[in-house]
Chain A
């Protein structure tokens, strides 16, 4: 029990679950165990990449992943409803898709998917008491906020964006290729803003999932439907207006009083920048607690 860390390497053969994990720790050769960190690491990822990697690995446990998959499959199923509505009510495919997109794809699938991801990457980590692991480091808080956002957005790009794109394709709308591409743009920009928004909520309030749900269903859907001032600040409405302005047959989704097309993209970018700035600033005053507190 007097050697340095190299000599403390346990014998080969990992024990199975429930067995004792090899030999006990050995005292450190101080110069070996805890050298001062040197700047500009080459072997390990940069702090920003580490935060993104941690977000992808740790913030989406199996249960949340299952919920995500279920919501995304729901999105595809809504796309399949379009031909049925079309056949039942006798409206055009574009009109039927307009209903499905407004009420289902933009009104339900996009915000719910982003809520699951956005809450997981910040609010849930803070509630679980694991955020101090990241907070207790010299990494700038802005870097942490942006890294968490990027990790969450990457997940959205792999889940909700393909799901909504497939929903357009299976809906059988005219000019499906262009419609799918526009939907991908709307979903990508909308999810970017949404995840920024939910990260901000995760930093500002304790019960972030509840507040986020209230914001989507009471703020955006209920108030935003009648007040264009709210709709102009809403990722839900602005994402829809990206499709309305750029997609074939998008006229069915136009909402008066809100920017459309690239104007809506710019608005979503603004929402993203503001929410991440607020999140980074609020992190300075955060007092991360342990999970049991």
Chain B
């Protein structure tokens, strides 16, 4: 990436016998980039390495050309919104944001309150963050990150705990920051959330880079993976017989009023299934994927 602000080169991180990242190379530039991966994939470790909180055992991390672990000056350009629950519970939201602003020598006295207003916490600014819900804590941390005016904003699961309305507003906020030319890196294990948020996505699985590109490329990679779909219908045997002839169907099992259809081409199966049901006069009471958790998606990507 020619305009990369964050570059990770062959980074490996291990904690004792546990390997968190394995020769991972990727780069991030201006705009919003989604960092996807199942729990334990190494997203948080990568984010901690990118902000300098840990140094890779092997490989390098450069932010704006500097090592964030050793070069304190580059910390002026980085902000992290960590996922963990740790917050200085005794501080109020206003004190938290003002503290961060003071550490970064922010000169605008009104900026902390404006940032709190931006995340919708101004009216509770004098309440202690220790008494906040998870979503409110995340937003307080987002406000503390915004107040420093970072060129690189790293957000670890920032939408956790947020209700749907707040989720939409935060996504719009991150997108606005990305349009401004800031490098915004957002991690999540929720695929559709990142799809809405980021034009470019990086997928990490078991500490390795599994895929990178825009959301279409990731989706295409997912579309052709084998998938099992559960269909509940009173006409299970008829539907199973109707499906057997289709080449997108790899196998069908029937158990009472339940049909489980497996297919290697999930996208096409979605079109074939209702047509087959109509053809045999089967009423569909329920259709749901059996293995659509992100974990399984990522497992397939890694094959």
- Which residues of A are at the interface with B, using a C-beta cutoff of 8 A? 1, 5-6, 8-15, 17, 20-47, 49-51, 53-54, 57-58, 61, 128-130, 132-141, 284, 287-293
Contact = CB atoms under 8 A, between A and B. Distances in A.
In the complex, which of the residues B79, B139, B170, B172 has the most CB atoms of chain A within 10 Å of its own CB atom? B172
Contact of B175 (A9, A27, A34, A137): A27
Nearest to B141: A133
Nearest to B101: A44
A169 to B, nearest CB: 33
Contacts of B103: 47, 50-51, 134, 137-139
Interface of B: 44, 51-55, 70, 72-73, 75-76, 78-80, 82-91, 95-96, 98-112, 114-115, 117-124, 127, 131-132, 136, 139, 142, 144, 146-150, 163, 165-166, 168-170, 172-173, 175-177, 179-180, 182
Given A58-B90, A292-B85, A136 B102 contact: no
Given A50-B99, A130-B88, A136-B79, A25 B109 contact: no
Contacts of B55: 287
25 contacts: A5-B114, A5-B115, A8-B118, A21-B121, A25-B119, A25-B169, A28-B173, A31-B180, A34-B180, A44-B112, A45-B102, A46-B105, A47-B102, A49-B102, A61-B89, A61-B90, A128-B86, A129-B84, A132-B80, A133-B99, A137-B76, A284-B70, A287-B53, A290-B83, A293-B84
Given A5-B117, A287-B53, A26 B169 contact: yes
Given A8-B117, A130-B88, A17 B175 contact: no
Given A27-B175, A28-B173, A290 B76 contact: no
A22 B125 CA distance: 11
Nearest to B175: A27
B120 A136 contact: no
Given A38-B108, A54-B99, 5 more contacts: A1-B172, A10-B122, A26-B169, A42-B109, A58-B88
Contacts of A31: 180
B75 A21 contact: no
A17 B115 CA distance: 22
Contacts of A289: 53
Nearest to A7: B117
B80 A37 contact: no
B105 A8 contact: no
Contacts of A11: 123
B104 A42 contact: no
A13 B122 CA distance: 11
A21 B179 CA distance: 28
Contacts of A54: 88, 91, 99
A58 B163 CA distance: 29
B122 A44 contact: no
B91 A58 contact: yes
Q: Which 6 A-B pairs have the closest CB atoms?
A: A43-B109, A129-B86, A50-B102, A290-B84, A291-B86, A30-B180
A43 to B, nearest CB: 3
Contacts of A57: 90-91, 95
Nearest to B79: A136
Nearest to A61: B90
Of the candidates A24, A46, A57, A289, the one having the most CB atoms from chain B within 10 angstroms of its own CB is A24
B234 to A, nearest CB: 43
Contacts of B110: 43
Given A9-B117, A34-B180, A40 B107 contact: yes
Most chain B beta carbons < 10 A, residue from A21, A26, A40, A139: A21
A24 B124 contact: no
B123 A39 contact: no
Contact of A291 (B84, B96, B121): B84
Nearest to A291: B86
Contacts of B117: 5-6, 8-10
B102 A41 contact: yes
A22 B120 contact: yes
